[in-house]
Chains A and B, each alone.
Chain A
Amino acid sequence: MSTVEAPPADRVDSGAPLPRGHGLGPWLVALARRAWRQLTSMRTALVLLFLLAVAAIPGSLLPQRNTKIEDVNQYLRTHGELGRTLDRFYLFDVFSSPWFSAIYLLLFVSLVGCLVPRLRDHVRALLRQPPDGPSRLDRMPAYVGGTGGDPEQFAALLRKRRFRVAVRGTTVSAEKGYLKESGNLLFHFALLAMLIGVAISSWYGWHGSRNIVAGRDGEICNTVPQYDDYGLGARVGPGDLPPFCVRLDRFEATYAPNGQPTAFRAHVHYSQGSSGTESPAEVQVNHPLRISGAGVYLLGHGYAPVIRYTDRFGKSQTSVQPFLNNDENLTGTGAAAFPDANIDPATGKQDPNDQIGFQGVYLPTMSSTDMTRGASLHPEERNPRLLLVAYKGNLGMDAGIPRSVYTLDESRIASGRLAKVAESKALRPGESLTLPDGSKVEFVGTRAFVTVTVRHDPGEMIVLGAAVFLLAGLLLSLWGKRRRIWLRVNGDRVDVGGLPRTDYPGFAAEFDEIVQAARKEGILR
């Protein structure tokens, strides 16, 4: 921290008058130059830093599309006009909004404008000899006078202490602590490198998420249509995703007695490219699987009830759909749809209003004392029960609109196009419910599912490297100390002066020590 000399970046003289009466051209040039100087001043950097901090606040208070799109939609539904207004100002996409981008881009322009001259000055200082001392060394913050003195000997003494030394006739000039400014520049350039890394991440990265049900039929492959939710960087097309497939064999969770999970393990098989050879692997929270430059992350898990429906013509179909968790004890809600139920085998025709769907709640551990409690007591399957509500009618699945597999169409239930026909008691695995038309639904059991996100992020290593340099630069810059020492022989007289160029309370002690050493070697008496 330079307190003795103003940092070069702060030489703003925004008060300089603009030239007048020389036509528009020079005036514009002067205006631009002035604006540039203003932008690259330390004060502007400060203001922009503040704006950046303030601009980030709404992003932490309102749900953001990039992380919680469901919450954003919910907010928009419940807040009407207010929500739409907030949305118009990008308040649900703060960190990709034009105004947030404008602030950090201006900050980085200001940074470049500030760094380039500083780098030039610093390189010059590194190439140059330490500058000659002021004429009156006794005016320096640290000073001692005496007699004797051999400049060369003093220079050698300082060189041993890793000062850069220049001897000009009877004057020794020495300086140390250039690493402080080098570190500071390194730090600021690392910030720029980090921005570049982030940009590469957002242009060339991609990610997708999906629930994978255990079993061969649950396998997913790395293609856009297979993901429930995905994002491709600006320079990535669906064809750019590397081909690989992942299948869940078995999922293992261990729990503490209070129900808190202690470990999750997903045993998977994966195959890369078109070879088809499968390799086993284990994915854990905090230990993603890395395939083809992408990471496969375990982010959640739950149960997918296996529901078998036997229609009134005796034909059976099975649904295995993940039930989404409502709570930490894995109370799940979900649906099973049978659009192809009740096709008359005689005619091969189906009354479209004869389709069947179920909405259900699954409790891995139902309370055995309080049967009205609709929530699981424990995430493990200790007393598993499935509650089903059966609906008959037109499921509306042929309409060609992609629909959620986690629920039936609520609007059809509300409008009566799907009519509730039966409600089960809490079914144990193996138990079944008979519907009024004689058809039957059986709760066969459950399979585990895991929620995975697959992500490829080509910028992350640049960002990490930049972060390491940033930290190194910061340490050098904050803890480094720049100081100068001069010795001048004037006939019989010797003056030694010292100047800490930065905040350095220990300078007096160091100076003192150098003086003592000089005395001991007889350079100074």
Chain B
Amino acid sequence: MSDALSNQLLVVTVLAYLAAMIAYAAEFAFGNRGAVARAATRSRERELVGAGGPVLPDTPVVIESAPSGGRAALFGRFAVALTVVGYAAHLGTIVTRGLAANRVPWGNMYEFVLAVCFVGATAWLVLLARRPMVRPLGMFVTLALIVMLFVDAVRLYTAAGPLMPALNSYWLKIHVTAAVTASGVLLVGFVAAALTLIRMGYDDGKRWFPCSLGNRLPAAATLERLTFRVHAFAFPIWTFAIICGAIWAREAWTQYWSWDPKETWSFISWVIYAGYLHARATPSVKKTVATWIAVLGWATMMINLFAINLVVTGMHSYAGVK
């Protein structure tokens, strides 16, 4: 089996995500700005008037209800359907790639980014199922996916081939799967953090782009909390990925840690995300500052993925990109 089918499916994936993004954007543009705000107040009221139920006046509201109906919502539902189509094609891309190479399909950088985006899409769909209210963020999530997949296909593509012996270990499956999972979830965390900052900027009276998009976004407190929860989910996975990497390094390169550039940047990202969790737990640090640290964390992840793989050579030179 050749990887031609996989490549064609990738085109389908990107096109479907693109269509989904346009539909999300249509919902975003046509949805009356009140929809979100109304939903916010409504859920607040629901909790306040809840028949004899508990009253939670002081905790920030986490909005659980779906966006209201109408034409905009139709676009929104359409967008979700397209995302699912893209997601199915995305899964197909990875599976056929694995069949073509006859191994786990994350042995080089092209496949790694493909898988990271897949986890990102999974995280997005799970989030969407659990909190339908986050749907207006879909435009940004699909945008991030499209950019990553496009760069991947154009810049990083490598034909399917066997693994080099250094990669031929069950630690590949464990370590890289964990790294892919953490990166994919952190991708969604980054989108949430960026939108939190946009919304916070809007609330501070900034009206220029991109803060001007803020009026259609969920409340800053909701987004900020979402950002935290996504990161709190991803951080232990990232930690686990690094630990597995160290165990593998001890088997393959003799030493559990040798400050290879990739290791160094994983460490930097880990420290920055730890900084984010600390900053968020420190009342004297503003939430804006903490959220910026999360964005910085994603920047270090991207440096690790692109700059370190393509520019600096280390023992991790498995990118396979010529």
Contacts and interface: CB of A to CB of B under 8 A. Distances in A.
Interface stretch (A232-240, A269-277, A472-480): A472-480
B321 interface: no
Contacts of B205: none
A346 interface: no
Interface residues of A, number: 68
Interface string A39-60: 0001101100110110011011
Contacts of B271: 49-50, 52-53, 56
Nearest to A284: B165
B152 interface: no
Contacts of A50: 271-272, 275
A46 B282 CA distance: 10
Interface stretch (A260-268, A423-431, A433-441): A260-268
B212 interface: no
B306 interface: no
Contacts of B260: 67
A498 interface: yes
A376 B171 CA distance: 32
Interface string B256-284: 11111100110110011011011111111
A203 interface: no
A263 B240 contact: no
Contact of B54 (A143, A287, A457): A143
Contact of B281 (A1, A299, A500): A1
Contacts of B165: 261-264, 284-286
Nearest to B166: A285
A505 interface: yes
A408 interface: no
Contact of A467 (B54, B243, B254): B243
A263 B168 contact: yes
Contact of B166 (A286, A464, A479, A511): A286
A286 B225 contact: no
Given A262-B162, A471-B243, A45 B278 contact: yes
B59 to A, nearest CB: 6
Interface stretch (A2-10, A23-31, A74-82): A2-10
Contact of A470 (B239, B261, B280, B308): B239
B308 A60 contact: yes
B1 interface: no
Given A49-B271, A262-B165, A471 B54 contact: no
Interface string A347-371: 0000000000000000000000000
Interface residues of B, number: 65
A42 B282 contact: yes
A479 B258 CA distance: 31
Contact of B258 (A3, A45, A61, A66): A66
Contacts of A176: none
A94 B168 CA distance: 31
Contacts of A66: 258-259
A67 B259 contact: yes
B264 A56 contact: yes
Interface in A478-525: 478-479, 498, 500, 503, 505, 507-508, 511-512, 515
B161 A260 contact: yes
Nearest to B256: A460
Interface string A279-292: 00000111110000
Contacts, number: 170
B247 A464 contact: yes
A95 interface: yes
Contacts of B148: none
Contacts of A83: none
A149 B260 CA distance: 64
B251 A286 contact: yes
A263 B166 CA distance: 9
B54 A285 contact: no
B235 A478 contact: yes
A308 interface: no
A478 B281 CA distance: 11
B34 interface: no
A172 B277 CA distance: 34
B268 A57 contact: yes
A136 to B, nearest CB: 13
B165 to A, nearest CB: 4
B265 A60 contact: yes
Contacts of B264: 56-57, 59-60
Contacts of B163: 262
A297 interface: yes
A261 B161 CA distance: 11
Given A7-B282, A59-B259, A505-B225, A285 B236 contact: no
Interface string B223-264: 001001100100110011001001110111111111111001
B45 interface: no
Contact of A6 (B57, B235, B258, B283): B283
B278 A479 contact: no
A424 to B, nearest CB: 33
B162 A515 contact: no
A299 B251 CA distance: 11
Given A1-B277, A256-B162, A261-B165, A512 B53 contact: yes
Nearest to B282: A42
A474 to B, nearest CB: 5
A68 to B, nearest CB: 9
Contacts of A295: 254
A461 B41 CA distance: 54
A53 B268 contact: yes
A262 to B, nearest CB: 5
Nearest to B278: A46
Given A2-B281, A46-B278, A66-B259, A503 B225 contact: yes
A46 B254 contact: no
B147 interface: no
Contacts of A392: none
Contacts of A260: 161-162, 164
B4 interface: no
A512 B254 contact: no
A171 interface: no
A141 interface: yes
Given A1-B280, A56-B271, A470-B239, 19 more contacts: A7-B281, A10-B284, A45-B278, A46-B279, A53-B267, A56-B267, A56-B268, A57-B264, A59-B264, A67-B259, A142-B56, A256-B162, A262-B168, A286-B171, A467-B243, A468-B243, A471-B236, A474-B236, A505-B225
Interface of B: 47, 52-59, 62, 161-166, 168-169, 171, 225, 228-229, 232, 235-236, 239-240, 243, 246-248, 250-261, 264-265, 267-268, 271-272, 274-275, 277-285, 300, 308, 312, 314-315
6 contacts: A10-B284, A49-B274, A67-B314, A453-B254, A467-B243, A503-B225
The 10 closest A-B pairs by CB, nearest first: A60-B264, A60-B261, A286-B169, A53-B271, A285-B165, A142-B54, A297-B254, A49-B275, A53-B268, A42-B282
